[in-house]
């Protein structure tokens, strides 16, 4: 059964409204949105610089291995206008959580890189790398050189009933050579040893978004991400409108299959489309068959029973994806119960 009361991709817009309308702060993920590896993603830098001409821009990253200063330096080298305070990291959000769990100045076992260690030290905690120092808590984040020794120390420490905070639980991390294991795999190794789960600060939890909104004083924020399971889910949990940009991990197939908690407000091919009108989604009936026709711009899909097919390809492929997403998300059926034409996600 068709559900008209659910949000649809583009349902909030009309032909002359862009995703930026009414937004005072734009928050951007980094990997897969701004850069891939060390290189800028096409059109990202100029598009974000144009956003920054009239709005505050902040950058949110789950990467716990780098300091805000090093992130800002990298972004600046790509051509963005960035200061360290524009960067909100999962270590910063994790340390804020940690401060509510242990006394000020407590000894904390750190598993991770310089980005995490520096934030723990700035907050006034004493850093240790050994469980023999009887830490009051464990805080864990990603670094490329984290190995068995560090994970074992965390496991030894967590045999005591002390808090465990993870910067994030991303299963993967995009690199220039491809996709690599992320912090979630390292957290999972400790979980397997100690039999419990950490408190998580980074995406998809709300803490890192709340830290950004507080810091930048946002009244209406828009978040840009490339992953449904961390970026979009986290923005939804924090009550922030979101953009899925198809330059990173998740593409058309994943967007169509997004569960109700991980659906973006907008879908963009690249960040140039932030500045372009976002066409509204329109729904009509085929009088002859009773089928639903869902259109975005000149593109349209047909919903006949459990089949979703191309009605009109249209001029812009992304509009066909937007129409298909709206049709599937509002069909009342799970993606596995639908027959979706391959042209819609190829």
By annotation, the residues acting in catalysis are 29, 31
Give 249-286 as a 3 state SS string.
CCCHHHHHCCCCCCCCCEEECCHHHHHCCCCCEEEEEC
CB-count burial class (<10 Å; 0-12, 13-18, 19+) for 285 = exposed
Distance CA 342, CA 332 (A): 20
Which ranges constitute the DSSP H helices of 137-251?
148-157, 183-194, 207-216, 233-238
Cβ neighbours around 113 below 10 Å, total: 20
**DSSP percent split of the chain into helix, strand, coil, nearest 5:** 35, 25, 45
Distance CA 176, CA 332 (A): 39
């Amino acid at each position: 059964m068709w559900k008209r009361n659910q949000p649809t991709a583009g349902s909030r817009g009309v032909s002359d409204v862009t995703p930026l309308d009414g937004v005072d702060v734009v928050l951007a993920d980094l990997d897969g949105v701004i850069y891939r590896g060390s290189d800028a993603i096409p059109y990202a830098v100029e598009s974000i610089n144009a956003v920054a001409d009239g709005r505050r821009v902040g950058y949110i990253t789950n990467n716990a291995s780098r300091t805000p200063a090093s992130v800002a330096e990298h972004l600046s080298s790509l051509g963005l206008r960035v200061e360290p305070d524009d960067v909100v990291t999962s270590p910063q959000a994790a340390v804020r959580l940690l401060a509510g769990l242990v006394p000020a100045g407590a000894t904390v076992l750190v598993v991770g890189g310089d980005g995490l260690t520096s934030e723990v030290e700035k907050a006034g905690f004493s850093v240790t790398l050994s469980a023999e120092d009887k830490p009051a808590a464990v805080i864990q984040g990603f670094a490329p050189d984290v190995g068995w020794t560090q994970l074992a120390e965390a496991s030894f420490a967590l045999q005591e009933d002390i808090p465990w905070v993870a910067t994030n639980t991303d299963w993967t991390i995009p690199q220039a050579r491809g996709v690599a294991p992320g912090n979630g795999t390292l957290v999972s190794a400790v979980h397997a040893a100690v039999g419990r789960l950490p408190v998580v600060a980074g995406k998809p939890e709300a803490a890192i978004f709340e830290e950004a909104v507080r810091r930048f004083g946002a009244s209406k924020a828009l978040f840009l991400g490339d992953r449904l399971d961390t970026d979009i889910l986290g923005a939804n949990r924090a009550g922030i409108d979101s953009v899925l940009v198809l330059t990173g991990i998740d593409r058309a197939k994943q967007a169509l299959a997004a569960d109700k908690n991980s659906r973006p407000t907008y879908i963009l091919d690249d960040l140039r489309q932030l500045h372009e009108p976002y066409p509204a989604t329109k729904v009509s009936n085929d009088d002859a068959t009773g089928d639903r026709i869902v259109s975005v711009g000149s593109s349209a899909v047909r919903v006949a029973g459990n089949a979703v097919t191309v009605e009109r390809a249209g001029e812009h492929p992304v509009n066909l994806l937007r129409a298909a997403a709206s049709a599937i998300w509002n069909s009342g059926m799970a993606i596995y119960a639908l027959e979706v034409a391959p042209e819609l996600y190829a």
